[in-house]
Amino acid sequence: PAGPGGVAVPRAGLKKLTLPPDYSGITIPEKPKLKFMDKVPAVPKVQREPRRLRDIRGPSQVATDFTQGQYGILALGGGYLHWGHFEMIRLTIGRSIDPKSMFAVWRVPAPYKSVTRKSLGHRMGGGKGPIDHYVTAVKSGRLVLEVGGHCEFGEVQPFLARVAQKLPFPAVPVSRESLQEMRQKEEEKRLDNQNPWTFERVVASNMLGMRKYLSPYDLQLKGRYWGKFFLKHRV
Amino acid sequence: AAKMAALGGGGTRWRRAWLPALQLLRRGSKAVTRHWKAMHFQRQKLLAVTEYLPPRPAVPPRCLPRRSPERHEEDGQARVLRRQLEQALGDSRMVAVCHYCPMPDEDVAVLRHFLRKHDIHVKFVLNEVGLGSGHEIEGWGLNYSTAPTQTGVGSLQGRAVPSQRALGSQPIPSSPFPGACIDNTILSRQGVENFARLPSLEVSQGQTVAALSLLPSQTCSLLQQGPAHLTALLDEHIRQLQGSGAATEPPQG
């Protein structure tokens, strides 16, 4: 009903109107969609390389922070991405984003590591098998993908979550703020831990001869990693 | 130790070619496996001992008093509405407040017309606009916690009596009528009804004047009538005084 001043008084209470988000500092690059990744790297000489599983183990030192985009997918475990994964990601993101107002950027290189397979049904021995396919190694804490543009986290999260679920390692969609919050919470957890005995302390001073049962890598990994797995609940 | 021995080079010719007695070099699975690699029990015990323990405050948070919901920042629209409300209430001498019940629009229009004939302006006000400036608008304490979203305010600008009668006889069955604020005094429903039954200002003024001037008028009429009645009254008065007590002196004259 209208009040005497002519101002219409709403029935269910006043609306709290918020300002629309400000996208002034964000420029969308020329090719907003994800680049096509090759199955095989363009190498002059194909070479079989040793397995070197340590490229999966432990925390990532590269590509841990955002560069261009605002939202991304964070890997919470180690694993290998092969061409099938890349195609799935490229097509899903290409379908879900609007190229005029959003863009996506790879944070992992194209497959570079050769993986060999012996033919099925043969016994051990006879040398190393031929190259089967190529993969990219991803360590935990690395960003796989970045998405940005004139969009909010709520719009981007559904399809990023779908992509994250299909990856061979556990992954979550994150935004800049949520990543910072995650790191801050981890740090707070580490600081207000009431347990006087921490894995780090026990390993560093070799209490009770524990290093007999632990790996020398546990000095750096500090009990948060086991193989390719990242133990989120620890410390 | 066996691994260290295998690494050692630079020994004599027949020591360099060396096969380990036990097959120690191919032992178990790698460090990084697809499956969850089995952990040594000592390591499991260590992980169990070094788990995270969250801090426990001395008083659990559920025993502490709950924080009152924080006041939201008022936005411009609410401020404008409140200013209008304050102006409207400041102008009028009498303000009646009642709850708003959802009524069909035509009923609302009929009611407003009916009240307007008796010079009563109806204004609908949202609770958050009215309650925010709580103690400044005096009649608002009436509607503190039990009101629904909206409150209807009748601001009365005319004479007291006919408006009161109109409000008393109005056909609003559903909306309860808590009270009114008349001339900076808060009155309840019974108070308003009693106020309506009071005689009007001129009548009461006349009555007061009449009460005050009763005695002088009587004296005036006595003096004007003639000395006979007056002397009779005075004799009567002296006889009464002499009858009651001899101590009192008879009046002079």
A53 within 8 A of A177, measured Cβ to Cβ = no
Query: Cα B20 to chain center, whole Å?
Result: 89
B146 within 8 A of B175, measured Cβ to Cβ = no
Q: What tens digit of pLDDT does each residue of A120-160 get?
A: 888 999 999 999 999 999 999 999 999 999 999 999 999 99
For A117, residues 6+ apart whose C-beta sits below 8 A from its C-beta are A129, A130, A132
Q: Give the dihedral of Cα atoms B51, B56, B60, B65; nearest 10 deg.
A: -120
Chain A with chain B: Cβ pairs closer than 8 A: 102
* Cross-chain CB nearest to A54 (options B32, B54, B126): B32
Residue corresponding to tokens 């009429």: B221
Residue of B26, B49, B51, B74 to mutate when probing chain A, most A C-beta within 10 A:
B51
Percentage of chain A exceeding pLDDT 90:
85
What CA–CA distance (Å, rounded) separates B188 from B195? 10
Residue corresponding to tokens 């190393």: A128
CA separation, residue A144 to residues A88, A156, A183, B156, B225 (Å): 13, 15, 18, 70, 119
In this prediction, residue B161 carries a pLDDT of 44
In this prediction, residue A31 carries a pLDDT of 95
Residue of A195, A220, A224, A233 to mutate when probing chain B, most B C-beta within 10 A:
A195
In this prediction, residue B164 carries a pLDDT of 52
The distance of B149 to chain A (nearest Cα, Å) reads: 7
Q: Would you kindly state where each structural domain of chain A is located, as residue ranges? A: 29-117+127-179
Q: What tens digit of pLDDT does each residue of B113-147 get?
A: 887 887 777 777 776 666 655 434 444 444 433 33
Q: Which residue has the higher pLDDT, A100 or B157?
A: A100
Q: What tens digit of pLDDT does each residue of A4-17 get?
A: 544 555 556 677 77
The distance of A135 to chain B (nearest Cα, Å) reads: 15
Q: Quick check: helix, strand or coil at residue B104? A: coil
Enumerate the residues of chain A whose CB falls inside 8 A of the CB of residue B150: 9, 11
Q: What tens digit of pLDDT does each residue of A33-64 get?
A: 999 999 999 988 999 999 999 999 999 999 99
Mind giving me the DSSP string for A106-133? Answer: E-SPPP-EEEE-PPTTPPS-SSPPPEEE
**How many Cβ atoms sit within 10 Å of the Cβ of residue A105?**
19
Q: Which helix (H) or strand (E) holds A147?
A: strand A143-149
CA atoms within 13 A on the CB side of A111: 21
**Which residues of chain B register pLDDT less than 50?**
134-163, 171-174, 247, 253
What CA–CA distance (Å, rounded) separates A205 from B203? 102
pLDDT, mean over chain A: 92
In this prediction, residue A18 carries a pLDDT of 82
In this prediction, residue B152 carries a pLDDT of 47
Nearest CA in chain B to A225: B32
For A230, residues 6+ apart whose C-beta sits below 8 A from its C-beta are A59, A76, A77, A78, A140, A141, A170, A224
The distance of A38 to chain B (nearest Cα, Å) reads: 25
Enumerate the residues of chain B whose CB falls inside 8 A of the CB of residue A138: none
Q: Would you kindly state where each structural domain of chain B is located, as residue ranges? A: 76-133+147-197
Q: Which residues pair with B179 in a beta bridge?
A: B97, B188
Enumerate the residues of chain B whose CB falls inside 8 A of the CB of residue A5: 84
- Domain A29-117+127-179 is in which class? alpha beta
Contact B43 A214 (CB under 8 A): yes
Q: Quick check: helix, strand or coil at residue A174? A: strand
In this prediction, residue B70 carries a pLDDT of 76
Question: What's the topology of domain B76-133+147-197?
Answer: Alpha-Beta Plaits (3.30.70)
Percentage of chain B exceeding pLDDT 70:
57
The distance of A198 to chain B (nearest Cα, Å) reads: 5
Token representation of residue B143: 């509607």
Give me the helices (H) in B92-188, please: 105-117, 127-132, 160-169
- Find the length of chain A: 235
A97 within 8 A of A28, measured Cβ to Cβ = no
Enumerate the residues of chain B whose CB falls inside 8 A of the CB of residue A139: none
Nearest CA in chain A to B84: A5
Which is nearest to A195 in space by CA: B50, B47, B57?
B50
Q: Interface pTM (ipTM) of the complex?
A: 0.88
In this prediction, residue A8 carries a pLDDT of 57
Question: Which B residues, 62 through 91, put their C-beta within 8 Å of a C-beta on chain A?
Answer: 72, 75, 77-78, 80-81, 84, 88
